């Protein structure tokens, strides 16, 4: 599988078509014939670029993961207050959700690709571990008590908001408010927050 910088224009078209099709129709429902047709290339070109459908699925998730992490990091970095930074991934999700109405591509991939040895399964699982670790890192930097426990709770709220995204419920607002309440309630051990 080529790296993002080594990818040819045809490879970029294949990846863009695969992302659109995999996200909106499902990974297992989409074959290489359909991807080749939508990207305007032959199946031979697709195989030359990615080797196999499994590698194309992994490339799709890796590229999506990179964009998501960049957005989250930018949102965290824009926070002046370390306590507010802990819930910045929820703000990033609000931005991200505008163009992603079928829920989380990583959760969807984990459901469709249950084999832990599948390269795309590993990318999707790593993305969730990364987010949990980020919540813990941010909670620690903000001086919150029990940052590991808080990180798990924030991840559950975040993922719940993602999983219910395809519904007509606004769970993201409620999840974000609850996350902020949890973060504020986790005062430093023996301390208080600085006044606002």
Neighbours of 165 (CB within 10 A): 19
One digit per residue, the tens of pLDDT, for the chain of length 196 reads 444 447 899 999 999 999 999 999 999 999 999 999 999 999 999 999 999 999 999 999 999 999 999 999 999 999 999 999 999 999 999 898 877 777 889 999 999 999 999 999 999 999 999 999 999 999 999 999 999 999 999 999 999 988 887 777 778 899 999 999 999 987 765 555 543 3
Instruction: Give the model's pLDDT for residue 180.
Output: 94
What is the phi-psi region of residue 115: left when phi exceeds 0, alpha when psi lies from -120 to 50, beta otherwise? beta
Judge whether 196 lies within some domain: no
Helix axes 53-77, 105-112, angle to 10 degrees: 150
| CATH assignment at residue 16 | 1.10.10.60
User: Which residues lie below 8 Å from residue 162, measured CB to CB, with a gap of 6+?
Assistant: 93, 103, 104, 107
> Are 64 and 97 in a shared domain?
yes
> Are 103 and 45 in a shared domain?
no
Are the beta carbons of 132 and 150 closer than 8 angstroms?
A: no
What predicted TM-score, i.e. pTM, was given to this entire model? 0.86
The position carrying tokens 């309440």 is 181
Tell me how many domains the chain contains: 2
């Amino acid at each position: 599988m080529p790296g993002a910088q080594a990818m040819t224009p045809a490879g970029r078209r294949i990846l863009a078509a695969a992302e659109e099709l995999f996200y909106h129709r499902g990974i297992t429902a989409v074959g290489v014939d359909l991807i080749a047709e939508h990207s305007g290339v032959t199946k031979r070109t697709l195989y030359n670029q990615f080797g196999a459908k499994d590698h194309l699925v992994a490339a799709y998730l890796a590229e999506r993961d990179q964009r998501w992490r960049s957005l989250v990091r930018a949102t965290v970095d824009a926070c002046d207050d370390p306590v507010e930074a802990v819930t910045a991934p929820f703000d990033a999700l609000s931005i991200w959700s505008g163009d992603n109405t079928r829920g989380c591509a990583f959760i969807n991939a984990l459901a469709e690709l249950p084999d832990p040895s599948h390269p795309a399964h590993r990318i999707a699982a790593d993305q969730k571990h990364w987010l949990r670790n980020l919540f813990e890192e941010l909670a620690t930097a903000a001086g919150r008590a029990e940052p590991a426990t808080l990180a798990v709770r924030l991840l559950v709220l975040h993922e719940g908001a993602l999983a219910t995204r395809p519904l007509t419920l606004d769970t993201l607002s409620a999840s974000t408010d609850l996350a902020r309440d949890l973060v504020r309630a986790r005062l430093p051990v023996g301390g208080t927050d600085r006044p606002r």
